[in-house]
Amino acid sequence: MNNALVIGGSGFIGSHIVDVLHQNNFSVKVFDREFDRFRDKKEGISYIGGSFQDQLVLAEALSGVDVVIHALSTSVPSTSNNFPIDDIMGNLVGTVNLLNLMLENRIKRILFISSGGTVYGIPKSLPLDEEHSTNPINSYGIIKLTIEKYLLMYEKLYGLEPIIIRGSNAYGPRQGHIGVQGFIATSLYKTLRSEVITMYGDGELIRDYIFVEDLAELCFKAVLSKEKGVFNGGSGKGYTLNEIAKIITDICGSKLILTKMPGRLFDVKENVLCVKKAETRLGWIPKTSIESGIKKHFDWLKERLQE
């Protein structure tokens, strides 16, 4: 099983999954609307351009594939509630079409990047393990969870072999910094440009952050395994926004220029993932400390801004 199609393979998380697959001698196809935003096309990778809703192009991309990695999302948590119909049509309908095409092409193995930050909703206990109840409070989490349910239904009815990675807040090189997703990415970018950063609430929201290369390594180990079902992918540690701001200040050498806005209803107060299942069943542990990861992100971003 070494012929992989990475849907969303030019995106932030997807491009890092492409890297680790390619480094480990997988034959890799990338399916995306546009190609790598932050780098040139990689030699030895096949690129297929098209919309996720274009079933003809997607069917062509699936030819000769053993495993599908679904890392594409057309929405982000902070804006999904504003456009729920778009979220349904772009992500849910597109994924169900993908599953049907996989059945037609007799492809069983799929890895789906879900959201450990949103599918659980308000925690009843911490850290959140995979058995915790799922009650998302935004459209993004609802759609991710619904896709999970479809994957498990297709497993039961049609023999699909899904593995679901519920990633926490990923950060690192190649993350966009337009301000709608990623407090670390946005804060680094705006601090380097001496711009104002919007922080919602009092800065005491607690989040689990995972360096993107660690998450990509987890996905690779999951693809290689024979496991199915749900796995959390986080650091297992929680940091407040204020703590992240302090780390960024120390690394950048300048204080963040913050403006604070009222908290948002779809932001849970605390989210920290338990990753023991991934450690035990997949032999994976996150390797990158928050300080080291933010420094790598900072160095990459600084170099880009100097180009």
- Tens digit of each residue's pLDDT (9 = 90 or more) over 96-150: 999 999 999 999 999 999 999 999 999 999 999 999 999 999 999 999 999 999 9
The answer to whether residues 165 and 176 touch, using CB atoms and an 8 Å cutoff, is: no
Q: What is the pLDDT of residue 74?
A: 82
Q: What is the pLDDT of residue 196?
A: 94
Mean pLDDT value across residues 220-245: 97
pLDDT of 179 above 60: no
Q: What is the pLDDT of residue 236?
A: 97
CA distance 31 to 108: 18
- Res. 178 pLDDT band, cuts 50 70 90: low
Q: What is the pLDDT of residue 84?
A: 87
3-state SS assignment for residue 290:
helix
Single out the catalytic residue among 47, 120, 140, 239.
Answer: 140
- Quick one: tokens of 169? 């807040």
Q: What is the pLDDT of residue 232?
A: 98
Q: What is the pLDDT of residue 176?
A: 76
The answer to whether residues 304 and 38 touch, using CB atoms and an 8 Å cutoff, is: yes
pLDDT tens per residue across span 15-49: 999 999 999 999 999 999 988 778 888 889 999 99
- Res. 177 pLDDT band, cuts 50 70 90: low
CATH architecture of 3-171+209-235: 3-Layer(aba) Sandwich (3.40)
Name which of 145-149, 210-214, 260-264, 276-280 the model is least confident about.
260-264
The answer to whether residues 136 and 121 touch, using CB atoms and an 8 Å cutoff, is: yes
CA distance 123 to 261: 23
* Residues 6+ positions from 303 with CB-CB distance below 8 Å: none
The answer to whether residues 27 and 83 touch, using CB atoms and an 8 Å cutoff, is: no
Q: What is the pLDDT of residue 42?
A: 87
Q: At what angle do helices 241-252 and 183-192 cross, to 10 degrees?
A: 40
With pLDDT > 70 as the criterion, what percentage of the chain qualifies? 97
Tokens 């050498």: give the residue: 253
Name the amino acid, one letter, at 156: K
Active site (annotated) includes residue 189? no
pLDDT of 78 above 90: no
Name the amino acid, one letter, at 143: I
Single pTM value for the model: 0.95
Residue 98's CB: how many other CB atoms inside 10 A? 25
Phi, psi for 203 (deg, rounded to 5):
85, 5
Q: What is the pLDDT of residue 39?
A: 86
Q: What is the pLDDT of residue 40?
A: 84
Going by the DSSP 8-state scheme, the letter that residue 253 receives in this structure is: T
Outline where the chain has alpha helix (H).
12-23, 55-61, 77-80, 84-87, 94-104, 139-158, 183-192, 212-224, 241-252, 276-282, 290-306
pLDDT of 242 above 60: yes
Q: What is the pLDDT of residue 148?
A: 98
